Amino acid sequence: SAYDTKTRQKVALKKLSRPFQSLIHARRTYRELRLLKHMKHENVILPSCVGFFSLFYFHRYLVTNLMGADLNNIVKCQKLTDDHIQFLIYQLLRGLKVLSESRNLNVDLKPSNLAVNEDCELRILDFGLARQTDDEMTGYVATRWYRAPEIMLNWMHYNQTVDIWSVGCIMAELLKGKALFPGNDYIDQLKRIMEVVGTPSSELLKKISSEHARKYIESLPHMPQQDLKAVFRGANPLAVDLLEKMLILDSDKRITASAALAHPYFVQYHDPDDEPEAELYDESIENKERTIDEWK
């Protein structure tokens, strides 16, 4: 962190890794800055401390509001109440709704990329690995423990509910106090997932475009789906019901961010008038060919 002498506020500094090393790095840096300016939302971190001239002379550091701890540190230090979990996940979904509905990106969602202040206000951080949802994915967008199965299995096209799986994993971790699927590698990760949600159905297997992934899954022994009420014994039944709708292998049947916000678990927070729709993000500028200096 640092102290801004102009605003007289503490601010956070994000050091970007070699932002202008190559054309790819320069384009990605430009994209992240532009996305941050586009996403004017309470639950998405904003570079509100950065003025036009700061951006013009920007070389390596991004200045944003200081939020305090990240969710990963909070989970390690204390047991959260159900009220805390409701409020945190509601805010996460509220921010995610804007990100997903604008077709901008699939965020690298994990506890360490969620900033929380002393008032339990949450903001989503880090868009450096963002991609359009209709791009073909390589499997390296999200951290493995929170990664949706369709990314690991190399399903080449998917929808916005890929991030809902990540939200489900984060919510499960808040309820249990530890990661739900802490796989040691991709194979172990998939095994841990299927031990809880069961083996993919024949209907779902037909949707897997990768023949190698499909044959591998078919070679595995059948695993029945566990009752999440037993996995999360003592948890709010409404929380478990929401998890059952999030942690679904078939992304086409997974709940959306908008539908999740309307779930009874968030009855004390849900307000359709206070859950804004996203403005469509125009990425045509980013698709143009430019030099590194022009991206700067």
Catalytic residues: 126
Q: How far is CA 58 from CA 29, 51, 52, 147, 262, in A?
A: 11, 10, 10, 32, 41
10 Å Cβ neighbour count for 91? 20
Query: What count of other Cβ atoms lies within 10 Å of the Cβ of residue 275?
Result: 17
Q: What is the dihedral of CA 241, 127, 6, 42, to 10 degrees?
A: -30
The set of long-range contacts for 18-25, using a CB threshold of 8 Å and a minimum separation of 24, is 19/59, 19/60, 20/59, 20/292, 20/295, 20/296, 22/292, 23/290, 23/291, 23/292, 23/295
**How far, in Å, are 46, 65, 246, 249 from residue 193 at the CA level?**
34, 36, 13, 9
DSSP 129-197: T---TTSPP-S-SS-GGG--HHHHTT-S---TTHHHHHHHHHHHHHHHSS-S---SSHHHHHHHHHHHH
Helices (H) and strands (E) in the chain, counts: 13, 6
- With H, G, I as helix, E, B as strand and everything else as coil, classify residue 245: helix
Rounded CA gap, 95 and 117, in Å?
Answer: 16
40 touches 46 (CB < 8 A): yes
